[in-house]
Amino acid sequence: MERSLTMELVRVTEAAALASARWMGRGKKDEADDAATSAMRDVFDTIPMKGTVVIGEGEMDEAPMLYIGEKLGNGYGPRVDVAVDPLEGTNIVAQGTWNALSVLAVADHSKLLHAPDMYMEKLAVGPEAVGSVDINASVEENLKAVAKAKNKDVEDVVAIVLNRKRHEGLIEEIRQAGARIKLISDGDVAAAINTAFDHTGVDILFGSGGAPEGVLAAAALKCLGGEIQGKLLPENTEQEERCMKMGIDNIHKVLHMDDFCGGDDAIFAATGVTDGELLRGVQFKGVHATTQTIVMRAKSGTVRFIDGDHSLKKKPNLVIKP
């Protein structure tokens, strides 16, 4: 991939964040998602690349744009796989709460997992704990391993978990082990990324969430030197057949970083839509708006935080009509 592509992709997540942020707190998650998706696609068409969506908004007959298999870019430049979540946290935006992001990842052709849209058990940690955890080990064992790797007591470890009924047993195990918990309503891509930044206060991600989001989190953690492990959780024969159709022969296999995101390069970009521990959300200030974006590349190890100031004078598409 070309170095210049990194900064070009920032424009994509910025546009999606600006469009969807107009819907914050309005209770309309579908409208927010549609706004982000439309804005993201418009900018993608100007990017110098030959991209194919491998993680998108759905199949071609289910999604009007950014569907799996769709071609992105202007047809020039590197051939790449693209994973997108125009609005990671549709409910978050609808409710006006924390950690909604516009997210994308790009890797060399055929290097991103074609993850089916189903649940996946995930375990994620930052660089200090790489090689210390095992998704097949007990919760207590993994908490102790992270505590040892980060030179702290288990009582000081913070596990982040989606607040779902299916996680009641997991939450109790974490509490019994003596660790602390940060429960989140949505947004486990942001949660996984936060394990790699000390100032977020998050040490480890546990629990099940969407498999496509696992690929996006893996691309980010690859750039950051972190680790993610996953196990697909098909719920019926139809979902098992979908795994096979997407090239996953062993649905019981533990997926590691190279399964999620192979090769030695990947680019990840995320722009805050609402405020979070890592990124500020979009703020509208009359005739201009501000954004904050993180963009990183695995090959160079570069991580950039970019503050954007955007004129709204020529962006009528960002105005919601009653």
**Positions at the binding site for substrate:** 88-90, 119, 164-166, 186-188, 210
Q: What is the pLDDT of residues 249-266, one digit of tens each?
A: 899 999 999 999 999 999
Q: Please identify which residue in the block is written with the tokens 């992270």.
A: 146
Domain 4-110+265-318's class?
alpha beta
Q: What's the pLDDT band for 60 if we cut at 50, 70, 90?
A: low
Q: Where, residue-wise, is CATH 3.30.540.10 in the chain?
A: 4-110+265-318
Q: Where, residue-wise, is CATH 3.40.190.90 in the chain?
A: 119-260
Q: What is the pLDDT of residues 184-204, one digit of tens each?
A: 999 999 999 999 999 999 999
Q: Count the residues in the chain.
A: 322
Q: Sign of dihedral through CA atoms 57, 60, 62, 63? A: positive
Query: Please, what is the average pLDDT of the chain?
Result: 94
**Positions at the binding site:** 33, 57, 85, 88-90, 119, 164-166, 186-188, 210, 213
> Do 246 and 117 form a contact (C-beta atoms < 8 A)?
no
Supply the pTM of this predicted model.
Answer: 0.95
Percent of the chain whose pLDDT exceeds 70: 96
First vs last Cα of the chain: how many Å apart? 43
Alpha helices in the chain (DSSP H): 4-21, 29-44, 90-95, 139-149, 168-177, 188-194, 211-224, 237-245, 257-260
Residue 301 is classified by DSSP as T
Interatomic CA distance for residues 291 and 33, integer angstroms: 18
Whether the pLDDT of residue 141 is over 80: the answer is yes
Whether the pLDDT of residue 322 is over 50: the answer is no
**Positions at the binding site for Mn(2+):** 33, 57, 85, 88, 213
Six token digits for residue 232: 């697909």
Q: Tell the CATH topology of 119-260.
A: D-Maltodextrin-Binding Protein; domain 2 (3.40.190)
